[in-house]
């Protein structure tokens, strides 16, 4: 499926965060927000954030991606961060924090079928590797931040004409 514009195709963060929001909301019993669209700070909640890193240099050039005379990078690397946020002052949220974290981790570890052409029409996910996990408290809030390494490629048919 071709993107509507080059800007849309290169808006990696919005597309990956939207895909994660879609399938995590379907499976988890708490709200999921992306950094680009976050407008509600309810708890408990999951926050997802995509950060772009370097492209893969020599193995990812494609002739005529954005224009017939250009060479475009197609294989990309990034970081994907998931935050679980609960409020100690609100009911049983603190007791459920570890459960939310485990559910979220399970959903991402076994999520390959969720990152498909219906949720990511322009990209092929190559891998999602778990990385560091940090736990902290901030006043009444418990926050777990899980970092994931992500590799993906822009699909050949995604380039706008």
Q: What is the mean pLDDT of residues 44-48?
A: 93
Q: What does the block give as tokens for 7?
A: 């800007």
**Whether pLDDT at 36 is above 70:** no
Indicate the CATH number of 6-55+62-158 among 3.40.50.880, 3.30.2000.30, 3.20.20.150, 3.40.640.10: 3.30.2000.30
**Whether pLDDT at 161 is above 70:** yes
Domain boundaries, the chain: 6-55+62-158
**Whether pLDDT at 14 is above 80:** yes
**Whether pLDDT at 101 is above 80:** yes
Contact predicate 104/146, CB 8 Å = yes
Contact predicate 49/35, CB 8 Å = yes
Quote the crossing angle between the two packed helices 12-27 and 93-109, to the nearest 10°: 120
Q: Please give the backbone phi and psi of residue 65, each rounded to the nearest 5 degrees, phi first.
A: -70, -70
Q: In the beta sheet, which residues pair with residue 46?
A: 32, 84
Q: What is the mean pLDDT of residues 5-16?
A: 93
Contact predicate 143/136, CB 8 Å = yes
């Amino acid at each position: 499926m071709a993107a509507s514009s080059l800007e849309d195709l290169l808006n990696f963060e919005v597309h990956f965060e939207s895909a994660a929001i879609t399938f995590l909301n379907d499976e988890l019993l708490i709200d999921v927000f992306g950094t680009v669209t976050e407008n509600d700070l309810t708890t408990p909640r999951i926050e997802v954030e995509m950060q772009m890193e370097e492209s893969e240099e020599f193995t990812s050039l494609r002739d005529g991606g954005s224009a017939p005379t250009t060479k475009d990078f197609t294989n990309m690397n990034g970081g994907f961060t998931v935050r679980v946020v609960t409020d100690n002052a609100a009911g049983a949220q603190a007791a459920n924090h570890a459960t939310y974290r485990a559910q979220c981790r399970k959903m991402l570890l076994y999520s390959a079928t969720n990152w498909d052409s219906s949720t990511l029409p322009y990209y092929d996910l190559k891998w999602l590797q778990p990385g560091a996990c940090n736990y902290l408290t901030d006043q009444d809030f418990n926050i777990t931040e899980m970092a994931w390494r992500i590799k993906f490629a822009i699909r050949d048919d995604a380039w706008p004409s």
